[in-house]
Amino acid sequence: MTVVTQLSRSKISARKWLAALPLALLTSGCDWVVMSPSGDIAVQQRDLVLISTGLMLLIIIPVIAMTLFFAFRYRQSNKAAKYEPNWDHSVGLELLIWGIPLLIIIALGALTWTSTHLLDPYRPLGRIKPDTPTLANNVPVGNLVDKQQAGNGPNGAGKPLEVQVVALDWKWLFIYPEYGIATVNELAAPVDRPIRFQMTSSSVMNAFYIPALAGMIYTMPGMATTLHAVINKPGNYEGFSSHYSGAGFSGMRFRFHGVSDAGFDAWVAKVRNGGGGLNRANYMQLEKPSEKVPVRYFGAVDGGLFQAIVEQCVKPGKACMSDLMKKDAHGGMAMPGVNGGSGPQDGSTRVEGALMKDADEKGNAPHWSAPATTKSDGGNNAPGSSQNRNHTQMIPVPTPGTQRLALG
């Protein structure tokens, strides 16, 4: 082998390495946390992705391989390939082409159905981690839900850690009702202890996501969503908003600390000693839009604050949604009475509309869309009168000389 040949081969090898260098540089900064999570729920979700991908590749890879094979085998220049222009059917090929995909679809359907129920974010955890079929205090997995309610074990092991999450513009508020503390843009939980998140939003829809812990869950104003999860490895993990929510969206990030029981107790003590209280007045200041907010601690929290946020009645004097719904359920109407009078209000029964009446109850009064003339059709201005069953609110028409119309 000559020196020239060796140099030529060395140049080719160097070019290959140089060609692969940009790809190595691009992938060197990738964080594969989704494929290497630290929480059991995220692990199960990763396994679901891998299994589903593998099942689909059982079809995709053979199809691509056969496409390339047939293109090469039956190319124009290959005179050895058998030419059968009258061939049109094969039972064996039909069974192969339809049978294997059908089996894969059945497998994917069964996998999707079971995992949808097992990984339901509202479902209490059925296990703490895959390699431990029992809790630390020897509670069988089948009784985990009951034990979670009992909360036996060190530091409440078995009982979920309650965390109330509020998506603000543009920061995260975490309330620990069990400990009476709250934080901004910092979250902590003991390793191997179930966590029950209750989440809402103060303004627009958002999304709570800790890739190492569990999947993304939306937060919406006026309602509370739930997520059950557990962290199995100590560490400092990233959490963020995965749904665009305005100008400060990119800075809406926080840190999640997975710590030991002793570490969590120390963290709780630090929060209690690190800040003042969070009451409704402070919250109204906190919820104002702000960007890149530093970590804040509140050593005390008003009871019922999270529920007031959910029901959108933090502001003094504003009625809560539950009160409005209760009033509506009892027939109350928070709107002006019809025909200029005082319609049904609190404590009275709402008048049944015409759509809810039988034909013999409606009588033969004029149609509701007909011009309203109280002198000829028997209507009157008495609220709730049965003679007004075909009328709605009466308003004067501004054009002189025309009749008032009943509006539907």
What is the model's pLDDT at position 343? 42
β-pairing verdict for 171-176 and 206-209: unpaired
Q: 173: closest CA among 34, 311, 285? A: 285
What is the model's pLDDT at position 165? 96
Q: Which fold has domain 141-310?
A: Immunoglobulin-like (2.60.40)
Give the residue extent of every domain in the chain.
141-310, 331-408
pLDDT per residue, tens digit, the chain (408 aa), is 554 455 455 555 556 555 555 555 454 455 688 888 889 999 999 999 999 999 999 889 999 999 999 899 888 888 888 888 888 888 888 898 899 889 999 999 999 899 889 899 999 998 898 766 544 433 333 444 444 444 444 444 568 999 999 999 999 999 999 999 999 999 999 999 999 999 999 989 999 999 999 999 999 999 999 999 999 999 999 999 998 988 888 989 999 999 999 999 999 999 999 878 999 999 999 999 999 999 999 999 998 899 999 999 998 888 888 888 877 776 655 444 444 444 444 444 555 555 566 666 655 544 444 455 555 555 666 666 666 555 544 444 455 555 544 444
What is the model's pLDDT at position 374? 53
What is the model's pLDDT at position 14? 54
What is the model's pLDDT at position 375? 58
Dihedral of alpha carbons 261, 262, 267, 269, sign? positive
What is the model's pLDDT at position 396? 46
The whole-angstrom separation of Cα 105 and Cα 113 is 12
* Single-letter residue type at 250: S
What is the model's pLDDT at position 318? 85
Helices (H), 29-160: 40-73, 91-118, 144-150
Is residue 109 helix, strand or coil? helix
- Host H or E run for residue 174: strand 171-176
Residue 208 has which token pair?
A: 């709570």
* Single-letter residue type at 7: L
Within 8 A by CB and 6+ apart from 44, the residues are: 115, 118, 119
What is the model's pLDDT at position 136? 41
- Host H or E run for residue 186: strand 186-190
Full-model pTM? 0.67
Radius of gyration of the chain (CA): 33
